């Protein structure tokens, strides 16, 4: 018999083809991903580059546009063919000048987002403690025509059953009770000032709202407790203009169930006082690296995965609301099977399954496979649910929500929305862990034979919100879609 000598290139291709036919176990896939991400993760480097060359990422600003372009180009560089800008036009807010005096003394303060374009008020300051509805029960008119003063968190001695509200919700309550201004004092020491929106809707509020430091607030609270009348004068100018911003969406089509989509997203935008390295650089740039890892490791899950950099989260979930409204109008929201959100999370030790998951076996089994790779991952499982991040619009449509249980140094959150939110706070190992474990979680979910939770209908979603104590804040924000 005559021997046929094949070219080496053909033989090599045959070997590769043969290897591809052997189905990899989940453990083998995770081992391969783990090795690659440990060696090649770009999360820390790209976040460092973005914070140094772009700076803050305020929605609608020149910096914001640069951040959109930066991540778009990175998706392309990592091998994604389908990368789209999803443009939306909204009215966005930015700060200008502020001056505050309390009892004639100048006090350092920062304007809270969506305060009026101009304001000049003088009024008596009234302490409403935590600023919750219950704090007004004894005297509903306590702040009428006056300035409401409150704590950003829950004061020591507050009953354990009391749930805190967002600064915007506390502001809305003060407005309802007739306040002409709001002063919120921070819970972080060393003079740190916190910004963020004071609007539950993303529209301008009718009164000025400001934040002062913990130290200034503590001193003011002591004055008021001594029954002294205190006058404050607040002047400010701000800007509110129609702007265009863009979500950035990279799509990896599923191999078997391409119409079913898993969305992983995090907000790219940040406030303008600092670079937003923690809020939410550690989330969005980890997601960018998860996308890189999918391509670098040739991961091809059964379901389509969309990696989304949301803009406008800080100013009222503008980008995620736009995406969900568009999907709901077209009916495509029915194909979104899960929304995996990473906002200021990192160094995962487990999963937060925020959907209506009756059987947690899937997540515990998936977590056990990840823990085999590295015992840093503790396979914890929680079912917490909250508001004020990009999962919210999806959640209100009944889409199951996923997050991570983080193990981060709590001190980094002291610079949340503040001028100290700097890249030096970012831990390289922790953001790399988010990328490697996040890749495994996402792949396991997108490649599942059967998903652990299904999209809820409207009535089930309503009850789910009630069961998770979210009805009150959703009503205050105007986001309660059902009869009160």
Count CB atoms within 10 A of the CB of residue 374: 14
Mean pLDDT of 327-337: 98
Mean pLDDT of 376-399: 96
Tokens representing 262 are 């898993």
What pLDDT band is residue 346 in, cutting at 50, 70 and 90? very high
Q: Are 97 and 236 in contact (CB under 8 A)?
A: yes
Q: Specify the CATH number of the domain 104-229.
A: 3.50.30.30
Among the four given CATH numbers 3.40.50.300, 3.40.50.1980, 3.40.630.10, 3.40.50.150, the one describing domain 26-91+242-477 = 3.40.630.10
245 sits in which H/E element? strand 231-252
* Amino acid 11: pLDDT: 38
Q: How many residues does the chain have?
A: 484
Tokens representing 421 are 């939110």
Mean pLDDT of 251-265: 98
* Amino acid 227: pLDDT: 84
Give the CA angle between residues 465, 468, 474 to the nearest 5°.
50
Q: Could you give the CA distance from residue 154 to residue 129 in angstroms, rounded to a whole number?
A: 8
Count CB atoms within 10 A of the CB of residue 421: 26
How far is CA 177 from each of CA 114, 172, 217, 480, rounded to the nearest angstrom? 19, 9, 22, 21
Q: Are 417 and 332 in contact (CB under 8 A)?
A: no
Mean pLDDT of 186-213: 96
For 172: left if phi > 0, alpha if psi spans -120 to 50, otherwise beta; the answer is alpha
Terminal C-alpha separation, the chain = 86
Q: Are 152 and 158 in contact (CB under 8 A)?
A: no
Phi, psi of 456 (to 5 degrees): -90, 150
Tokens representing 97 are 């000048």
* Amino acid 355: pLDDT: 79
* Amino acid 356: pLDDT: 86
Give me the helices (H) in 89-226, please: 167-176, 214-225
9 sits in which H/E element? helix 8-21
- Domain residue extents for the chain: 26-91+242-477, 104-229
* Amino acid 358: pLDDT: 83
Count CB atoms within 10 A of the CB of residue 191: 14
Q: Are 447 and 386 in contact (CB under 8 A)?
A: no
| DSSP codes joined into one string, 128-196 | -TT--GGGGSS-TTTTTTSEEEEESS--TT--TTPPP--HHHHHHHHHHTT-SEEEEE-SSSTT-----
- Per-residue pLDDT of 84-110, as tens digits, reads 999 999 889 999 999 999 999 999 999
* Amino acid 3: pLDDT: 41
Q: Are 232 and 183 in contact (CB under 8 A)?
A: yes
* Amino acid 308: pLDDT: 99
């Amino acid at each position: 018999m005559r021997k046929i000598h094949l070219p080496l290139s053909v033989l090599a291709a045959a070997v590769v083809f043969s290897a591809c036919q052997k189905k990899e176990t989940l453990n083998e896939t995770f081992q391969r991903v783990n090795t690659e991400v440990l060696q090649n993760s770009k999360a820390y480097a790209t976040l460092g580059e973005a914070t140094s060359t772009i700076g803050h990422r305020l929605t609608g600003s020149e910096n914001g546009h640069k951040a959109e372009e930066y991540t778009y180009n990175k998706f392309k560089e990592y091998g994604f063919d389908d990368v789209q800008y999803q443009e939306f036009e909204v009215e966005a807010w930015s700060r200008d000048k502020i001056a505050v005096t309390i009892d004639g003394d100048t006090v350092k303060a920062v304007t809270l987002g969506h305060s009026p374009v101009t304001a000049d008020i003088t009024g008596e300051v009234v302490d409403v403690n935590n600023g919750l509805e219950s704090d007004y029960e004894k005297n509903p008119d306590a702040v009428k025509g006056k300035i409401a003063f409150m704590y950003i968190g829950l004061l020591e001695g507050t009953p354990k059953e009391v749930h805190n509200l967002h600064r915007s919700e506390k502001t809305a309550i003060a407005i309802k009770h007739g306040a002409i201004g709001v002063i919120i004092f921070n819970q972080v020491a060393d003079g740190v000032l916190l910004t963020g929106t004071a609007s539950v809707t993303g529209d301008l509020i009718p009164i000025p709202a400001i934040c002062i430091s913990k130290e200034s607030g503590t001193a003011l609270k002591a004055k008021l407790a001594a029954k002294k009348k205190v006058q404050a004068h607040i002047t400010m100018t701000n800007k509110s203009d129609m702007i265009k911003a863009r979500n950035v969406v990279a799509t990896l089509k599923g191999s078997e169930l391409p119409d079913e989509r898993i969305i992983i997203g995090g907000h790219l935008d940040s406030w303008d006082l600092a670079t937003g390295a923690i809020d939410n650089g550690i989330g969005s740039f980890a997601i960018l690296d998860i996308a890189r890892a999918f391509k670098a490791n040739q991961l091809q899950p059964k379901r389509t995965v969309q990696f989304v950099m949301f803009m406008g989260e800080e100013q009222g979930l503008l980008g995620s609301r736009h995406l969900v409204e568009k999907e709901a109008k077209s009916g495509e929201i029915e194909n979104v099977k899960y929304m995996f959100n990473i906002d200021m999370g990192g160094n995962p030790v487990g999963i937060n399954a925020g959907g209506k998951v009756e059987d947690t076996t899937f997540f515990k089994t998936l977590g056990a496979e990840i823990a085999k790779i590295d015992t840093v991952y503790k396979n914890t499982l929680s079912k917490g649910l909250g508001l004020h991040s990009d999962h919210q619009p999806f959640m209100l449509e009944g889409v199951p929500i996923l997050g991570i249980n983080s193990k981060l140094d709590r001190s980094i959150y002291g610079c949340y929305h503040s001028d100290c939110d700097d890249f030096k706070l970012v831990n390289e190992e922790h953001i790399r862990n988010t990328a490697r474990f996040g890749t495994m979680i996402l792949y396991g979910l997108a490649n599942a034979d059967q998903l652990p939770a299904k999209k809820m209908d409207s009535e089930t979603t309503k009850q789910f919100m009630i069961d998770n104590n979210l009805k009150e804040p959703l009503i205050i924000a105007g986001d309660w879609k059902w009869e009160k």
